[in-house]
Amino acid sequence: MTLHPDSLAVHAGRDDLASLGVHALPLDLSSTNPLPGIELGGMSYEVLATGGHPSEGGSNVYARLWNPTVARFEEALARLEHAEEAVAFSSGMAAVTAVLLALTHESEKRHVVAVRPLYGGTDHLLASGLLGVETTFCSPDGVTDAVRDDTALVVLESPANPTLELVDIRRVTAAAGVVPVLVDNTFATPVLQHPLDLGASLSLHSATKYLGGHGDVVGGVVACDARLAAALRRTRAITGAIMHPLAAYLLHRGLATLPVRMRAQQEGARVVAEWLLSRPEVARVHFPGFSDSDPRGLIGTQQSGPGAMIAIELADGFDAAATLTASVQLFTHAVSLGSVDSLIQHPAALTHRPVAAEAKPSDALVRLSIGLEDPADLIADLDQALTAAAGVRERMGTALG
């Protein structure tokens, strides 16, 4: 039976529940598992440690290698992403690290092309050279020139963090040629975008964000084909970066409401973004639903909706941004995004603090993650906070006079 995505979000990864005699998702917290014997137990260990699936009659052996609760979440996410498989990790950065390790090892190539802007953690990891890779940073139009014979991977994010720039995934994958392309799909989620259908090889999520949706779980997950998934599981087993079963349980439960949450938060963001356009304190509103933020017309072709993130540039720069983030009452001043409650943060000072100067976002830029509150309440909160920010400008002018 072919299911609508909303139905799939509710039912994916639950095919074995009836045979287990349960209705709600089970949670398996076992750190170790009984072995059927030395020979079969050893064979089970070897299969799982090298990236395979549990064999019939075998054992899951050890939680660093395999866990059924994690596997159910992986199956569900893979179906939502139109992927053959998915591999879950302890964090989004653990997922990024595993992809870099697996693909550079597999190809014996050490060069990566990264399309900026990117999430600050990913940018910092690539720029640091910590994993022994050499990275060429470029714009989307520079991918063709940046790819070399020793390029193992092209990395991009769309919408990009924190300015919400949309990257044409089809164009980048065409420019990359035979080089695998990793798309960070965190902001769009599989509700709005399917990178693998657009030519990408891997779709990555910081599952901490919209997939979980409640600000109470940390995790990462990569959707891809079966061959790449096996390489990622092998890397995960060696490095010990598997997702904790409780995190997988919470994320799988969260997937059931992902489409409903995403659409509601997106509509709230649209209302707030349109209101922000009228504020003199705001020099620019970055929102993919506006034509100036989507010059290639990718909303409706690549991505089905603009999402629920907004970035604004304050007319009076850093001081106004600092006052705004300190003055909100309903928004929470905190990093991260995608929760049912609204968050506000200053990327240059926080998530993008370690990024090189040439790639660091403006000090005047503030990022908003719109939750499920009534948009009128969010607007009222921003109204009083922006008024406070304007007051800082007036006081500074008086002091200078």
Let me know if residue 50 belongs to a domain: no
What is the side-by-side strand order in the sheet with 332-333? 282-286, 309-314, 365-369, 343-345, 332-333
Look at residue 353 in the predicted model and tell me its pLDDT. Answer: 87
Tell me which residue of 334, 310, 317 sits closest to 389, measured CA to CA.
Answer: 317
**Tokens 């007319």 belong to which residue?**
315
Q: Are residues 204 and 189 in the same domain?
A: yes
pLDDT at 45 over 90: yes
Judge if pTM exceeds 0.85: yes
Q: At 193, which CATH number?
A: 3.40.640.10
**361 and 277 both lie in a single domain:** yes
The last residue of one of the domains, among 255, 288, 312, is 255
> Which residues, in sequence order, are CB contacts of 108 under 8 Å at separation 6+?
none
pLDDT digits (tens, 9 = 90+) for 280-301: 999 999 999 999 999 999 999 9
Round to whole Å and give the CA distance between 159 and 36. Answer: 48
Helix or strand holding residue 128 (H, E): helix 120-128
CATH number of 329's domain = 3.90.1150.10
Distance, in Å, from the CA atom of 327 to the CA atom of 398, rounded to the nearest integer, reads 21
Number of compact structural domains in the chain = 2
- Domain limits at 139? 5-30+67-255
Whether 120 and 98 map to the same domain: the answer is yes
Are 264 and 233 in the same domain? no
What integer is the mean pLDDT of 77-88?
A: 98
What gap in Å lies between CA 50 and CA 56, rounded to an integer?
Answer: 17
Q: Has residue 205 been placed in a domain?
A: yes
Write out pLDDT tens, residues 374-401. 999 999 999 999 999 996 656 655 544 5
**Residue 62 lies inside a defined structural domain of this protein:** no
Confidence class of residue 57 from pLDDT cuts 50, 70 and 90? Answer: confident
Report the C-alpha gap between 175 and 199 in whole angstroms: 11
Query: Which residues lie below 8 Å from residue 170, measured CB to CB, with a gap of 6+?
Result: 198, 199, 302
Domain identity same for 227 and 269: no
Q: What is the DSSP letter of 398?
A: H
- Residue 31, Cβ density class (10 Å: 0-12 exposed, 13-18 middle, ≥19 buried): exposed
Residues forming the active site? 64, 119, 184, 209
378 in the same domain as 236: no
Residue 401, Cβ neighbours under 10 Å: how many?
A: 5
> Average per-residue pLDDT in the chain?
96
